Structure 1
Amino acid sequence: MLPLEGVRVVELTTAWAGPMAGRILAWYGAEAFHIESPTRTNTWRSNRDKPSPLAFPDHDPGDRPWDRVFTFNSQNVNKRSLVVDLKHPHGASVMRRLVDASDVLICNFRPGLLERLGLGYAQLAKTHPELIVVEMPAFGLDGPHADYAALGPTMEMAAGMSAMVAYPGGQPTVTGPSYLDPIGGFNAAAAILTALRHRERTGRGQHIELAQVEAAMQFIGPELIAGTDVAPEGNHVADMAPHNAYPTRGEDEWIAIAAEDDAAWSRLAGLMGQDELARDPRFATLSARKANEAALDALLAEWTAEQDKAELAARLQEGGVAAAAVETAPEQAASEYLAARGFFDELVHAEAGRHRHPGLPLHSTVAQGSQRSASPCYGEANGYVLREVLGLPEEEVEEILASGAMADVPAPGT
């Protein structure tokens, strides 16, 4: 039995952060319902007039591109899809009854949406005091920035991280594609698990506000305490040298090498076949290496340039030097390391076919989660919710389905 079997989660979410929280709970066995509108799909379904072929298996959007897109399908495994118009009387009624029959409601839209839909915590708690509601606004539910729109890259900039990630004289740089979103998702999942434990002890639900920008500020905690600005130095850091990425054999191939102290630098010099570098006055101490960092980087780049990145990284690791090949996505997909760890699960999707899906970095000897089903097709659980979850009579089911309040195909132009 999975740890969260019997827990029901409703996700009024989009993109990555909110769905990631639901994905983690579903990994542990929760029944998670991803809610979408007939007129506004999850932005990660890439339902556009001319979707990029790169987003689909075999570069083919097919007849149902919203069900075949890699982005949505990578983050919504183990879930069910309910497509309901929350502005339609029947749709609003279905949603309210589903929430009343659930344990957790997650929302990562702007503040005020739940209240406008009649799903605010104060309203829901009157009849369902055991409910846990989690809202994930970028800047919180109140304060001067509460109404600001935000995406992963803009939140990273607002959190102060990007000002520290740049080359000297260069513009601030984000760390990757919406890096903060999964961080918000993991924070939300942890908060929900804590709330479930609290409910187990007290019988009471609660409202949780998770401001994603504030969650990101944990990454610059020392700088916030010190109140100091950090001059961006690319891959260089103040307390290590060398600490950089260096070119290797092939086009745009790289290896990252870091020497955490003088002993590590001495080991690296020996592996380079140039023991004398460890005694060279320009490089013998950290302060000397920092003062001559450009020359140090040039020496290493010359040494690494004609070597295979993976073989060199393995040799350096064996010699006690921190190093890693800079991997591409295809290399990660074929990684022996990830295969040995059981990181990928092969799942079959009704529209997208059979593919390996990345798992989660959560391993337990007694409470292991799993990926059991591929991401849901758009609206595939509509009938299931009405009949099995809500237990509605067939006459009412047919009335709701015929009313236009639910759909299994996005509205034209969505």
Structure 2
Amino acid sequence: PAGLPLAGLRVVELTTAWAGPMAGRILAWLGAEVIHVESATRLDSWRQHNQVFSRYRFPPDGAGDRPWDRTALFNSQNANKLSLALELKDKAGHAAMLKLMAQSDVVLCNFTAGTLARMGFGYDKLRELNPAIIVTEMPAFGSFGPMANGTAIGPSMEMAAGMAGMIGYRGGPPTTTGPTYLDPMGALNGAAAILTALLHRQATGEGQHIDISQVEAAMQFIGPQILHALATGENPAPSGNRVAWAAPHDAFQAAGDDQWIAIAATSDAAWAALAEVIGMKPDPRFADLAGRRAHEDIIAVALANWARTQDKHAAAALLQQHGIAAAAVHDPRDGATSAYLRHRGYFTPLVHSDIGPVIQEGLPFHLSLTPGYDRFAAPVLGEHTRHVLADIIKLSPDEIADLDARDITSVVPK
């Protein structure tokens, strides 16, 4: 749409799951025309419905007759996109895809390294058709090097990055983050790299290939620990919620069932304010960071006794008023009902063509002059195939009819 910063940009997205689709979602949010290319014979993994049904995966009225179109996982990351369902192993389907890529600005892929080239869409091939094209690949370990052919998903990439070794408690096993931070981290790196390449192209007319290792993206989370290990040979150990630069720094159970509040004293002044709020008498043992770290267990007992009598939201607000870093620990229900998020317009009501009214979660950045926004819900499988084939790459009615007759296009899985 006019007025959005990426209006007029076309992105062809051959992605699955989270990292690649979220990178494309960021571009779509900012106005790009993003075409999510799908296969009816090998569904996007977040469309697949052969897993155990759980309530959070589908809208309140269930999976319905077309669960692949109703899954919350897929729909969360594919708003504002077009769906082109096309079998690329077929000669005519492959030719149609090349025609589309020749008319596009960006190709985005998060498959295993080399997959795009094996499909016949490698960068060298595409730049012959379109010298200005930007091709972005986001494999787990990058597109070159001894691990390039490695296959991984979020949790295993956290392990490979060393991130899991820094999460959890001293003496405990490596621990992953649960929702796998790696995917959105890779997505943000991917979107930023694409925008950088677009600036270069704007200045020079040159396209380029972008290689993003999602494991290396994850390593940014533990950069100081990696540098420490390089400098000293020591292996930093996990320390739960505690850190070296603040004490106390932990989560404490508040009043209610499984309710928590996070509290951190990041300076001597913050500690003095915290001690006053919770009624602790001045104690020279706790006057500086070294002393508080040495006696953090004692401080934790006092904080735990205070916190368990407090409402987490009221306590966090009280501590914030005194300049103390504190926050109620939110669960998904807290997030869904957050007045703060609603005030910032984080949730947008949309209409999905199969589900009906849905709520779409937003993105965290707000541009003052050209803000992105959610314009339409995620597509059903193949929803825009006809539009792409007829209106964008200008196939004739007979050519489209031939693709339909041979099941090269589809709106249902095979």
Q: Distance in 2 between matches of 1:50 and 1:317?
A: 42
1:271 shift after superposition: 0.7
Q: Which residue type is aligned with residue 375 of structure 1? A: A
1:230 shift after superposition: 1.5
Partner of 1:83: 85
Partner of 2:140: 138
Q: Which residue type is aligned with residue 223 of structure 1? A: Q
Q: Distance in 2 between matches of 1:10 and 1:244?
A: 44
Partner of 1:295: 298
Counterparts in 2 of 1:3-402, with a 5 A limit? 3-48=5-50, 50-58=52-60, 60-226=62-228, 227=230, 228-274=234-280, 276=281, 279-402=282-405
* TM-score, normalised via structure 1 length: 0.96
Deviations 1:83-124 (A, max 9, x none): 111111121112111111111000100011111111001111
Identity among equivalent pairs (%): 52
Structure 1 pair 59/247, CA: closer, same or farther in 2 (3 Å)?
Answer: farther
Q: Distance in 2 between matches of 1:10 and 1:409?
A: 21
The 8 Å contact of residues 53 and 59 in structure 1, kept in 2 or not, is answered as: no
Q: Distance in 2 between matches of 1:166 and 1:96?
A: 47
1:59 shift after superposition: 5.5
The 8 Å contact of residues 47 and 66 in structure 1, kept in 2 or not, is answered as: yes
Q: Which residue type is aligned with residue 343 of structure 1? A: Y
Structure 1 gap ranges (5+)? none
SS of the equivalent of 1:185 reads: helix
Q: Which residue type is aligned with residue 235 of structure 1? A: N
SS of the equivalent of 1:297 reads: helix
1:282 shift after superposition: 3.2
Q: Distance in 2 between matches of 1:143 and 1:49?
A: 34
- Count of residues in correspondence between the two structures: 408
SS of the equivalent of 1:6 reads: coil
Q: Which residue type is aligned with residue 342 of structure 1? A: G
SS of the equivalent of 1:44 reads: coil
1:346 shift after superposition: 0.7
Deviates more, 1:9-18 or 1:282-291: 282-291
Deviates more, 1:91-100 or 1:246-255: 91-100
Q: Distance in 1 between matches of 2:163 and 2:387?
A: 44
Q: Distance in 2 between matches of 1:33 and 1:81?
A: 6
The 8 Å contact of residues 163 and 173 in structure 1, kept in 2 or not, is answered as: yes
SS of the equivalent of 1:9 reads: strand
Q: Distance in 1 between matches of 2:192 and 2:184?
A: 12
1:273 shift after superposition: 2.4
- Report the RMSD for the aligned CA atoms in angstroms: 1.3
Q: Which residue type is aligned with residue 267 of structure 1? A: A
Structure 1 pair 345/287, CA: closer, same or farther in 2 (3 Å)?
Answer: same
1:175 shift after superposition: 2.3
Deviations 1:285-331 (A, max 9, x none): 22222112112111110111021000100011011111000001111
Deviates more, 1:47-56 or 1:236-245: 47-56
1:379 shift after superposition: 0.6
1:261 shift after superposition: 1.5
Deviations 1:9-49 (A, max 9, x none): 00000001100111011011110011111111111113216
SS of the equivalent of 1:256 reads: strand
SS of the equivalent of 2:191 reads: helix
Q: Which residue type is aligned with residue 41 of structure 2? A: T
Deviates more, 1:97-106 or 1:166-175: 166-175
1:50 shift after superposition: 4.9
Structure 1 pair 258/49, CA: closer, same or farther in 2 (3 Å)?
Answer: closer
Q: Distance in 2 between matches of 1:234 and 1:225?
A: 20
Deviations 1:331-366 (A, max 9, x none): 111101111111111111011221221111111111
SS of the equivalent of 1:45 reads: coil
The 8 Å contact of residues 53 and 61 in structure 1, kept in 2 or not, is answered as: no
